[in-house]
Amino acid sequence: MREFAAKYPARFGVMKGELKSGLKATLEAPLFDAAFQSLADEGRLEVRVERVRPADVPWQPPAEAMAALEAVERELEGAGMAVPEAAAWQGRLGAASAAEVVALGLFLGRLVRVSQELTYTARQMEELREKLAAWFAKQPTMSVVEFKDLAGVSRKYAVPLLEHCDRVGWTVRSGDERKRGGRGGGA
């Protein structure tokens, strides 16, 4: 865990499953689970969203990673809902930096991966959720064409966005239309 923290300072810690998998040759799963729980109970580990790090190594994202994340957020939000594909903006950062910025943004809940190609900011997705709620307050269903108009996007963006909305429960697909979901799309 300490090696991971030193190598990837923008990440809160190593994924618990990755740690467990890396130790499987020397430590059986039940023993790992018991040891892990004991260390967590003693306050020697800090766990957040399936990531773990030594509790005595305080975490603060590096300033340059935060600055890069903020620049990515500005770029994505500046494009409206027709964001540049991930390969384009990640390419400008370089592979290593992009991986760190994406991991940091996802961990902090500031980025939302809608598909392999499309990433949005949490603010963009909240605005979309609010638009859906307003729509479904007046209409029982929504077509893809109506969603395209609502989001201001082409079909290239509309379909992955709608699939994401279905996954998170904002919408429910019913044939060729969407209905209000139970998790914020109209509630």
Q: For the segment 134-177, what is each residue's pLDDT rounded down to a tens digit?
A: 999 999 999 999 999 999 999 999 999 999 999 999 999 999 99
Please state at what angle helix 155-168 crosses helix 122-138, rounded to 10 degrees.
80
**Cβ(155)–Cβ(149) under 8 Å?**
no
What dotted CATH number matches 2-54?
1.10.10.10
140 Cβ partners below 8 Å, 6+ apart? 179, 180
* Domain residue limits, the chain: 2-54, 63-118, 123-180
In CATH terms, are 2-54 and 123-180 the same topology?
A: yes
The residue with tokens 């384009």 is 88
What pTM was computed for the model? 0.85
Give the mean pLDDT of 107-120.
96
Say what the pLDDT of residue 37 is.
Answer: 93
Q: What's the whole-number mean pLDDT along residues 23-33?
A: 92
* Across 76-103, average pLDDT: 93
Average pLDDT over residues 4-32: 92
pLDDT band for position 187 (cuts 50, 70, 90)? very low
For residue 13, pLDDT beyond 50 = yes
Residue 186 has pLDDT above 70, yes or no: no
Question: Which token pair is 111?
Answer: 């980025």
> What is the overall mean pLDDT for the chain?
93
Residue 94: per-residue pLDDT: 87
Q: Which CATH topology does 123-180 take?
A: Arc Repressor Mutant, subunit A (1.10.10)
Q: What are phi and psi of 90, to 5 degrees?
A: -70, -35
